Amino acid sequence: MRFNRSVAALLVGLVLVASIVLLAPRASYSRQDRDATLATASRQHPAGTDELGRDRLVRVSAAFLLSLAGAIAASAITTAAAAAVGTLAAFGPASVGWLAMLACDVFLALPWLFLLMMVRSALPLTTSPANSAAITFLVLAALGWPACARAVWRGALNLRNAEWMLHTRASGLRPVQIVRHAIPNLLPLLVPQFLVCIPAFVIAEANLGALGLGVGEPLPSWGGMLLELDNSAMLMQTRWVYFPVALLVVVLLLLDAIAVEVE
Amino acid sequence: MSSEALLRVSLEAAYPGKTVLRDIHFELRRGEVLGLVGTSGAGKSTLVLALLGLLPWRGGRVTGEVEVEGENLLARSERRLREVRGRKVALIPQSPMTALNAAISLQSHFVEAWNAHESSGRAALHARMRDLLAEVQLPSDPDFLRRRPPQISVGQAQRVLIALALLHRPALIIADEPTSALDPVTQAQIVDLLRRVNRRHETAVLYVSHDLVSVLRLCDRIAILDCGTIAECLPVDELSKASHPSTRALLDTLPVPLDLLLSYRSSTAVAPLQLVIAR
For residue range B191-244, what is the model confidence (pLDDT) as tens digits? Answer: 888 898 898 888 999 999 888 888 888 899 999 988 888 888 989 888 888 888
- Domain containing A159 equals 2-24+57-262
The per-residue DSSP string of chain B comes to ---SEEEEEEEEEEETTEEEEEEEEEEEETT-EEEEEE-TTSSHHHHHHHHTT-GGGGT-EEEEEEEETTEEGGGS-HHHHHHHBTTTEEEE-S-HHHHS-TTS-HHHHHHHHHHHH--S-HHHHHHHHHHHHHHTT---SHHHHTS-GGGS-HHHHHHHHHHHHHTT--SEEEEESTTTTS-HHHHHHHHHHHHHHHHHH--EEEEEES-HHHHHHH-SEEEEEETTEEEEEEEGGGGGG--SHHHHHHHHT-SS-HHHHHHHTTSTTHHHHHHHHH-
* Selection from A49, A94, A30 nearest residue A228 by Cα: A49
The pTM of the full predicted model, rounded to 2 decimals, is 0.78
Q: How far is A77 from chain B (nearest CA, A)?
A: 24
* Selection from A95, A121, A127, A103 nearest residue A219 by Cα: A127
Q: Cβ–Cβ of A181/B99 closer than 8 Å?
A: no
pLDDT, one tens digit per residue, over B242-270 is 888 888 888 888 888 887 888 777 654 44
Residue A45 within a domain: no
pLDDT, one tens digit per residue, over A168-221 is 999 999 888 888 888 889 998 899 999 999 999 999 888 888 887 777 777 888
3-state SS assignment for residue A213: coil
pLDDT of residue B226: 86
A205/B208 Cα distance (integer angstroms)? 60
Peptide bond before residue A218 is cis, with ω within 30 degrees of 0? yes
Angle between helices B184-201 and B270-278 (to 10 degrees): 150
Residue A38 within a domain: no
Chain A residues whose CB is inside 8 A of the B82 CB are: 172-174
Which residue of chain B has the CA closest to A188? B103
ipTM: 0.86
Residue A147 within a domain: yes
Domains in chain A: how many in total? 1
Residue A48 within a domain: no
Residue A34 within a domain: no
3-state SS assignment for residue A160: helix
Q: Is B31 left (phi over 0), alpha (psi -120 to 50) or beta?
A: left
Phi, psi of B224, rounded to the nearest 5 degrees = -100, 120
Q: Along the 263 residues of chain A, how does pLDDT read in single tens digits?
A: 456 788 888 999 999 998 888 887 777 777 777 777 777 777 777 777 777 778 888 888 999 999 999 999 999 999 999 999 998 898 888 889 899 999 999 988 888 778 777 877 787 777 788 888 888 888 888 888 898 899 899 998 888 888 899 999 999 998 888 888 888 899 988 999 999 999 999 998 888 888 877 777 778 888 888 877 777 777 777 778 788 888 899 999 999 988 888 77
> What percent of chain B shows pLDDT beyond 90?
40
Q: Which residue in the set B52, B98, B104 is minimally distant from A170, CB to CB? A: B52
Q: Which residue in the set A162, A170, A180 is minimally distant from B54, CB to CB? A: A170
Residue A32 within a domain: no
- Whether chain B has a CB inside 8 Å of the CB on A176: the answer is no
Mutation site for A-interface testing, chosen from B51, B73, B89, B101 by largest number of A Cβ within 10 Å: B101
3-state SS assignment for residue A219: coil
B65/B68 Cα distance (integer angstroms)? 10
Residue A124 within a domain: yes
Q: How many CA atoms lie within 13 A of B128 on its CB side?
A: 20
Residue A14 within a domain: yes
Q: Indicate which CATH number applies to the domain containing A83.
A: 1.10.3720
Q: Is B41 left (phi over 0), alpha (psi -120 to 50) or beta?
A: left
A219/A29 Cα distance (integer angstroms)? 8
Burial string for B81-120 (b: 16+ CB within 10 Å, else e) reads: bbebbbbbbbbbbbbbbbbbbebbbbbbbbbbbbbbbeee
For chain B, the maximum distance between any two Cα atoms, rounded to a whole number of angstroms, is: 54
The model's confidence at residue B173, banded by pLDDT at 50, 70 and 90, is very high
The amino acid sitting at B44 is K
